[in-house]
Copies of this chain bind each other. A is one copy, B any other.
Amino acid sequence: MYSGLMSTSERLIEATRELLWERGYVGTSPKAIQQLAGAGQGSMYHHFTGKPDLALAAVRRTAEEMRAAAAASLDGPGTAYERIAGYLLRERDVLRGCPLGRLTMDPDVIADDRLRAPVEETLDWLRGRLASVVEEGTERGELSAALVPADIAATIVATVQGGYVLARASGSPAAFDAGVRGLLTLLDPSADDRS
């Protein structure tokens, strides 16, 4: 139940974000949203046309936050490797998974272009941003010249998204951390990578 300092529509959006993260779109009912937001049915249907509309507002906000968080790691100073490492090693609520990525497993989200759009755009943006960092790294000689920026960017994002899967399967963040360590070893320009 959220503070009364937030407006009703704000509380509804925040409650929806929370529940979408925890239970996904199919698993989140209007009633649960209303209870967590401390709002009645009338309020919800006054501010939003229905569950999809509210979910859209929630997903857009989550996408915004995710961009900002990634940019904070990637826009900083340091070598390409350091910025990528910073992104991979930043604090995460590993066992909760990615609030945006988890939605891709939701058939009702994938089937709705309006709901899928912010998810796609944000992951695309992230890959693009990482590809730029990798490209800078190869140009400056900080990373192997053999790397294809767009491919490595996809590998990095996939390792994070898949790391969540492994962590949730085992009930421990250890597998996520292992995957990240493995990727950093593979990227590390200072490691002796010859057999």
Binding site for B on A (CB under 8 A): 22-24, 26-27, 97-98, 101-102, 104-108, 110, 116, 119-120, 123-124, 127, 138, 141-148, 150-166, 168-171, 175-176, 178-183, 185-187, 189, 191-195
Copies of this chain: 2
Q: Say yes or no: B195 contacts A189, CB within 8 Å.
A: yes
Complex: A47 Cα to B36 Cα, angstroms:
38
Complex: A163 Cα to B159 Cα, angstroms:
8
Q: Say yes or no: A151 contacts B120, CB within 8 Å.
A: no
Complex: A169 Cα to B154 Cα, angstroms:
13
Q: Say yes or no: B192 contacts A145, CB within 8 Å.
A: yes
Ranked nearest first, the 7 interchain pairs of A and B with the lowest CB-CB distance are A158-B162, A162-B162, A161-B162, A155-B182, A151-B182, A154-B178, A154-B179
Given contacts A105-B24, A145-B192, contact A155 B171 (CB under 8 A): no
**Additional A-B contacts beyond A138-B195, A154-B163, A158-B166 (16; CB < 8 A):** A22-B107, A24-B24, A24-B26, A24-B107, A26-B27, A142-B195, A144-B192, A144-B195, A146-B193, A147-B185, A151-B179, A151-B185, A154-B175, A183-B186, A186-B187, A189-B194
